[in-house]
Amino acid sequence: MTLSTKPFPTKPFRPTDSASAAMADPAACLSPMPWSLTRQNTHSGFILIPPTDNPLWISHAQAPTMLPLDPRRDTAEGAQKGEEERAVWRIFLAGRDRHNTSRIFAADVHPDDMSLATLHPDPVLDVGAPGAFDEHGIGPGTAIAVGGRIFLYYMGLSRKSDVPYRPNVGVAISEDGGRSFEKFGGPLLGPSPHLPLGAGLPTVFATDATPGRPFGMWFSRFTEWAMIEGKPEPVYDLLYASSADGLDWQVHPDANVPLASRDEGGLVRAAVHRTAEGWLMLFTARGRAHFREDAEQRYRLIAATSADGLNFTRTGAIGLDPVPAAGDWDGEMQAYPQIVPDGNRTLVLYNGNGFGRDGFGYALLTGTAPAAAQDTAPGQGTAT
């Protein structure tokens, strides 16, 4: 599928040239970091409403994944009026049809006020052919520029007879600035000795944590299907992989974020952010049982910090200001964050209630030190 807009050049992915000053002194990362999130548009959020006449997209705007584009004129009418060009972000997201099958769609927004510029009705990427690892659902993970191409990492699902699905990580590549994508063969990560039941929700970013392998990836490692009142529910933690080219990946089994207890059931979408103090990770965690019905078990935002980008220590739930209230779009759940550095501010895109049923919104990340130099913003995973 192709988008209805012309391609836009993007800033290419390049690994960090040198570590920050704090990385030379890992002890600097051990001091407390008062991270917090200031919610924007607290009652309505920034919500995308699926097109009412689109049979492929009737619900959800799940796992928002940003790709910066060059400034452009918003519309032909705006150009005729002589309006100034405005920056544009393309947000990839997962939309569902009436069969609950997800595909990747896109919306263009203006980052200065997060207003909608263009909503693209056709899928950017569709499900795979019968028998493929992604035949029953896909969702975005990360979109980055690599040389003159765009790599769109995603999670693909295939249904199973004994459990609901098998997850894998794939990638699609654009040669025209993000207008169209072609899938790159089979899965990049799937079942293996270190990934017993598959992998999903990839976050790919530039890193110097693994010398000679400047691509890093945090993803969910599926370890178990727990029988909860006779129904199989997935259990997954976070694991790290590295790559020299973004296509051939090596899993690092010792670099992981484990479940906090037997009562925890899933860690998803690890968004990472490099600062002068080290690394910050945001992810969401849920309970092992009844996480759809019980408010205490639903996804919540969790923070973790690291000196080296590989070994993270959880610091607890990240504060939200103002605290989400009953009736807010994110009052029941906060899930699937993406950290987006943007000049002198840092945004966090995230989903709210119903796993993205009520769209997505954003908050401002505060309490950070100035970001260390890096050439691409991390992007984050898809949804389960």
Q: Could you tell me if residue 375 is inside a domain?
A: no
Q: How far apart are CA 300 and CA 287, in angstroms?
A: 10
The enclosing domain of 344 has a CATH number of 2.115.10.20
Give per-residue pLDDT as tens, 264-308.
999 999 999 988 889 999 999 999 999 988 888 999 999 999 999
- Say yes or no to pLDDT of 263 above 80: yes
Instruction: Write down the pTM of the prediction.
Output: 0.84
Q: Could you tell me if residue 381 is inside a domain?
A: no
Q: Could you tell me if residue 173 is inside a domain?
A: yes
More confident residue, 291 or 12: 291
Q: Could you tell me if residue 34 is inside a domain?
A: yes
Q: Could you tell me if residue 94 is inside a domain?
A: yes
Q: Could you tell me if residue 374 is inside a domain?
A: no
By residue range, what is the domain housing residue 60?
Answer: 21-366
Q: Could you tell me if residue 10 is inside a domain?
A: no
Give per-residue pLDDT as tens, 154-213.
999 999 999 999 999 999 999 998 889 999 989 999 788 899 999 999 999 999 999 999
Please count the structural domains in the chain.
Answer: 1
Give per-residue pLDDT as tens, 46-104.
566 666 678 999 999 899 999 987 554 344 444 444 445 778 899 999 999 999 999 99
Give per-residue pLDDT as tens, 304-356.
999 999 999 999 998 888 888 888 888 889 999 999 998 888 999 999 888 98
- Say yes or no to pLDDT of 372 above 70: no
